Structure 1
Amino acid sequence: MKKILRFFTMIIILFLLVARHAPAETYGRPGYHDGSLTHAGMARTYRLYIPTIYVVQKPKSVPLVIVLHGGGGNAKNAARVTGFSQKANTEGFIVAYPDGTSWIGRNIFLTWNSGNCCGYALENNIDDVGFIKALIEKLEKELPIDPKRIYVTGISNGAMMSYRLACELSDKIAAIGPVAGALNVKDCNPAYPVSVVIFHGKFDDHVRYNGGKSLKMADNHDRTDTPVSYAVSFWTKNDQCSATPEREEKGRLVKELYTGGLSGTEVLLYTIMDGGHAWPGGKKLGYIGADEPIYGVSATDLIWEFFKNHPKP
């Protein structure tokens, strides 16, 4: 009798241990799920996209792509502009679209505190790095997120925020994909190498390719952006990549790849010769004066291709 009791006791203990460490099954259907968490005394919101392939196959681990909206946008806008949810359906990764903050308190005019930009988030020194870290940790508890395959991309203010996250959360983030943003973080000291793929249009007057003052300032804070060359130089040195890139010109696109970095990291720059302040191959940003995206080039496809080839070691 004692042996039987001991056996069942062991079974119960094992069950509890497994249940404790297994991710919660809170996403039983594919599609969008709206969520929230409290960080630094604020209710923060996000939109999650679960692809059908995840629900059907139930993989043991899955990549996470975090997509950051531009200044004045929101999670829904980021999904619409980038089309990352459609890409997730074919590739099987999970997408998180977090919301920034706004003085209005609703999901409009949202911004990120990316260093020297933008709006409410900058003025109030909102801890967006802490929010994204808390979001990652929450999703890791709820879903079988692969800790070696966590990626961040974004446009404009969201791209600037992706740079800041790479600076401060390099222990969690494998690669970033900033589009039409500048590396404006004063003290960027990543603890680990991070792979970087950059998209920037030569005719971007909002965040200029060669840096300097914006010609179409949407934010009321005076700022000077660093040039794209600064971001490339910083990350190639940080990752210890080759000094000379492999260069390829294809129509309106110039590709420069810096290889041989620490832990297999690489830095890749796509210059869109006739591109403005937009997501290549995506939808137009939803504000007055936004540039038209170019077509024939899909930033979403190329970013995901780069991400899936650059996990953490």
Structure 2
Amino acid sequence: MTTRAETVRRAERHELTYGGRRRRFLLLRPDPGPRYRPAPLVVDLHPSGLGPAAQLRGSGLGELTARGYAVAAPQGALPYRGGWAWSLPGVPLAGEERIRDEAADVDDVGFLAALLDTLDGMLPLDPARRHLSGFSGGARLASHAAVAFGDRLASVACVGGVRRPGGPGDTAPPLLAVHGLRDDTNPYRGAAGPRWDESVPHAVARWAGAAGCAAEPVRTEPAPGVTEFRHRDAAGRGPVRLVAVASLGHAWPGTPDPLLGGHVSGTGSDAYDASAAVRDFFDEFGGEEPGGEPPAP
């Protein structure tokens, strides 16, 4: 069985120039096989202070290549605590009181759009099956991109960092948000200050409203200490979902990687497998074609 570290080691290293900067990204191509092409795509965004390799190891989403996906992991442009961070519109980085001067010249939403265009030129991808995932600062960037990209995204998964920029008429693709009740970096119930004010349930509720889903979610408990809130649409599906993990701190639950909080005392990271949930969510909302075969001509 291929380990997460081995999967990351086989990733291709690439660069593209955007906004006068050379930006790096990793790329995992779909495993060869008789699957329908063009392929679905996942862009996986790292948290502040880490980089693309750490995110792929922690999230385990590189395993999606076995399901026919291409997986890309880009790198932020702002040096931060030994790693990299994303430039979020109008928001300072964690632990910093003001927006950095150099952040004004970094348009990471635009960079992600350019990355999608670049990937389209590198391998056959289905434009109707693009997905974004991210943890912490990467989830916050994914939230902004979901509004800006219009219909370019099939779904978004945000772990430990979902926001809802924009208004009720802005784009709201299907969303899976996973968050810990004990998160003290991005508190579940919100906090004072411009960096993180709105509570997670309120942000998800506004997302559901923009997506045309019911305001009142259906509540279930898939595991002890885990509560799922599913906002249903007119077809009875649940395209907007929030999973709240009572014992979880600021971590990607289910990861074995300590850089994303795995097996760290007090994080509650073993209470829920976010990686499996994200993979299944992407399959449900625009993953591999059923049966893996092209439609009949």
Structure 2-normalised TM-score? 0.81
Equivalent in the alignment of 2:49: 72
Matched, 1:252 2:225: yes
Number of matched residues? 269
User: How far apart are residue 177 of structure 1 and its match?
Assistant: 0.6
Q: Residue 305 of structure 1 aligns to which amino acid in structure 2?
A: D
Task: Work out which of the residue numbers 167, 172, 179 in structure 1 matches 2:147.
Answer: 167
Task: Work out which of the residue numbers 188, 204, 207 in structure 2 matches 1:235.
Answer: 207
**Shift in CA distance, 251/77, structure 1 to aligned 2, threshold 3 Å:** same
Q: Which runs of 5+ in 1 are unaligned?
A: 1-29, 215-221
Equivalent in the alignment of 2:248: 275
Q: Deviations over 1:253-309 (max 9, x none)?
A: 10111111699771011000111100010122269x996452252111111211221
Looking at structure 1, the residues matched to 41 and 276 of structure 2 have their Cα atoms a distance apart, in angstroms, of 15
2:170, 2:210 within 8 Å by CA — same for their partners in 1?
A: no
User: How far apart are residue 31 of structure 1 and its match?
Assistant: 3.2
Matched, 1:81 2:58: yes
**Shift in CA distance, 65/190, structure 1 to aligned 2, threshold 3 Å:** farther
RCO (CA 8 Å, sep 6+): is it higher in 1 or 2? 2
Matched, 1:94 2:70: yes
Matched, 1:151 2:131: yes
Q: Residue 90 of structure 1 aligns to which amino acid in structure 2?
A: A
**Shift in CA distance, 192/264, structure 1 to aligned 2, threshold 3 Å:** farther
Looking at structure 2, the residues matched to 149 and 44 of structure 1 have their Cα atoms a distance apart, in angstroms, of 24
1:113, 1:127 within 8 Å by CA — same for their partners in 2?
A: yes
**Shift in CA distance, 191/206, structure 1 to aligned 2, threshold 3 Å:** closer
Structure 1-normalised TM-score? 0.78
CA RMSD of aligned residues (A): 2.9
**Shift in CA distance, 293/99, structure 1 to aligned 2, threshold 3 Å:** farther
Looking at structure 1, the residues matched to 48 and 265 of structure 2 have their Cα atoms a distance apart, in angstroms, of 12
Equivalent in the alignment of 1:43: 22
Looking at structure 2, the residues matched to 201 and 150 of structure 1 have their Cα atoms a distance apart, in angstroms, of 26
Q: Which runs of 5+ in 2 are unaligned?
A: 1-8, 288-297
The structure number with the bigger radius of gyration is 1
Looking at structure 2, the residues matched to 93 and 184 of structure 1 have their Cα atoms a distance apart, in angstroms, of 27
Aligned-residue sequence identity (percent) comes to 26
Q: Residue 86 of structure 2 aligns to which amino acid in structure 1?
A: W
Looking at structure 1, the residues matched to 163 and 182 of structure 2 have their Cα atoms a distance apart, in angstroms, of 18
The 10-residue stretch of structure 1 (302-311 or 231-240) with the greater mean CA deviation from structure 2 = 302-311
2:168, 2:209 within 8 Å by CA — same for their partners in 1?
A: no
**Shift in CA distance, 49/244, structure 1 to aligned 2, threshold 3 Å:** same
Secondary structure, in 3 states, of the residue corresponding to 2:48?
coil
Matched, 1:178 2:161: no
Looking at structure 2, the residues matched to 67 and 96 of structure 1 have their Cα atoms a distance apart, in angstroms, of 6
Equivalent in the alignment of 2:83: 109
Equivalent in the alignment of 2:273: 298
Secondary structure, in 3 states, of the residue corresponding to 1:110?
strand
Equivalent in the alignment of 2:173: 194
2:64, 2:279 within 8 Å by CA — same for their partners in 1?
A: no
